[in-house]
Amino acid sequence: MAKVMIVGAGGVGSVVAHKCAALEDFTEILLASRTVAKCDQIAAHIGSTKVKTAALDAFQVSDTVQLLRDFGADLLINVALPYQDLVLMDACLEAGVDYLDTANYEPPDVAKFEYSWQWAYQDQFKEAGLMALLGCGFDPGVTGIFTAYALKHHFDEIHYLDIVDCNAGSHGQAFATNFNPEINIREITQKGRYYEDGVWQEIDPLSVHRDINYPHIGDRPSYLLYHEELESLVKNIPTLKRARFWMTFSEAYITHLRVLEAVGMTRIDEVEYQGQKIVPLQFLKAVLPEPASLAENYSGQTSIGCYIKGVKDGQTKTYYIYNNCDHAACFAEVGSQAISYTTGVPAALGGLMMVQGKWKQAGVFNVEEMDPDPFLEKLGSLGLPWHEVINGPFPFDD
């Protein structure tokens, strides 16, 4: 039995709160955000006396420490902005509370995300006897657990990994992002990177694409991006010869994005407007649809998985493991769209693994370093069933 504090009241925070409230291992839940009205709205939708709410400026370490102590938290689940990862880790260390997040740290003034800042906390968490679990959403998160499961049960060595992420849903908006617009656009407008033969290769943003066939969806144009789980997977699975990440975007989405880039609306540096300093991307975020607002009218599915190739008992083997998730079904269950759902469910389940002691070590860890079996045994029953294809087609022999 444990008390969990969830920081962040966006679409993902709502899903995490719903799922934690349904799990008997979590006896009390505190949902905290700068805008407490959002927390109250989520709590009312859940309708459980287990869920309490509080206002919190997560950039203020002392405030977070005080709230953690007053609540008596055993675990902090961070689904706030990636900018806040380090200050929330600092607060957990001071308050003596375990930590979990879904996205790695990103400095506000540079569109660059990497694990080095958080990995640097290894000794502090180990010495404190606390655990920090990084990247426990879907991608990163389940994709790393899928890969660990493949290595444990199907391969002696993994050589090739292609993570594929398709959103074939329709929300009826001309242009919108499925999670925080500022973070989303920063992610896809930076240079792409992939790992091959011991070297990180860099490409221009969205310059490499190919059609990939997704189960129950069909062929979709998929773009080569850099995604954070590549960094940890290459580190933790040293036999990898190549690791890449692909994501689908519609032609209309790419056209809108390129126009916004061309007119300077994706800039993250300050500009002066009517005597005030503003960041164009933050202004754009303010006028785009709130991602959580897309849920009610969303139709279609997402499909996220891992194509893996390696050797088992001296023989070449291929493996594909994936999940498809339906937007409308997510809305019917918890009032969210599938992008928030596929991130929030693994965060709640990762927290469950920690409080049950199935994933419990002192230090800083990525999910692929944990035993994948208890997590995947539970994932389907929490709403994300997964499927595998053994020695099927491998569409990345290039």
How buried is 291 (Cβ within 10 angstroms: 0-12 exposed, 13-18 middle, 19+ buried)? Answer: buried
User: How far is C-alpha 181 from the chain's CA centre?
Assistant: 14
Question: Which CATH architecture does the domain made up of 2-134 adopt?
Answer: 3-Layer(aba) Sandwich (3.40)
pTM, full prediction = 0.92
Q: Is 196 helix (H, G, I), strand (E, B) or coil?
A: strand
| DSSP state string for 33-94 | ES-HHHHHHHHHHHT-TTEEEEE--TT-HHHHHHHHHHHT-SEEEE-S-GGGHHHHHHHHHH
Q: Within 13 A of 285's CA, how many CA atoms are on the CB side?
A: 15
Number of neighbouring beta carbons within 10 Å of residue 136: 31
Query: What are φ and ψ of residue 78, in 5° steps?
Result: -100, 105
pLDDT by residue, tens only, the chain of 398 residues: 899 999 999 999 999 999 999 999 999 999 999 999 999 999 999 999 999 999 999 999 999 999 999 999 999 999 998 989 999 999 999 999 999 999 999 887 666 778 999 999 999 999 999 999 999 999 999 999 999 999 999 999 999 999 999 999 777 665 666 556 666 777 777 889 999 999 999 999 888 999 999 999 999 999 999 999 999 999 999 999 999 999 998 777 777 677 677 677 777 778 888 888 887 777 777 767 776 676 677 889 999 999 999 999 999 999 999 999 999 999 999 999 999 999 999 999 999 999 999 999 999 999 999 999 999 999 999 999 999 999 999 999 87
CB 126 within 8 A of CB 93: no
- Distance separating alpha carbons of residues 346 and 392, to the nearest angstrom: 27
Token readout for 266 is: 């994706």
Name the residue type at position 254: I
**What are the structural domain ranges in the chain?**
2-134, 142-334+385-390
Cis peptide bond upstream of 140, omega within 30: yes
Query: What are φ and ψ of residue 317, in 5° steps?
Result: -140, 145
- Distance separating alpha carbons of residues 226 and 223, to the nearest angstrom: 10
Consecutive H or E run containing 374: helix 372-379
> Counting every residue, how long is the chain?
398
* Domain boundaries 142-334+385-390, CATH class: alpha beta
Nearest C-alpha neighbor of 187 from the set 82, 100, 339, 262? 82
Token readout for 215 is: 């189960």
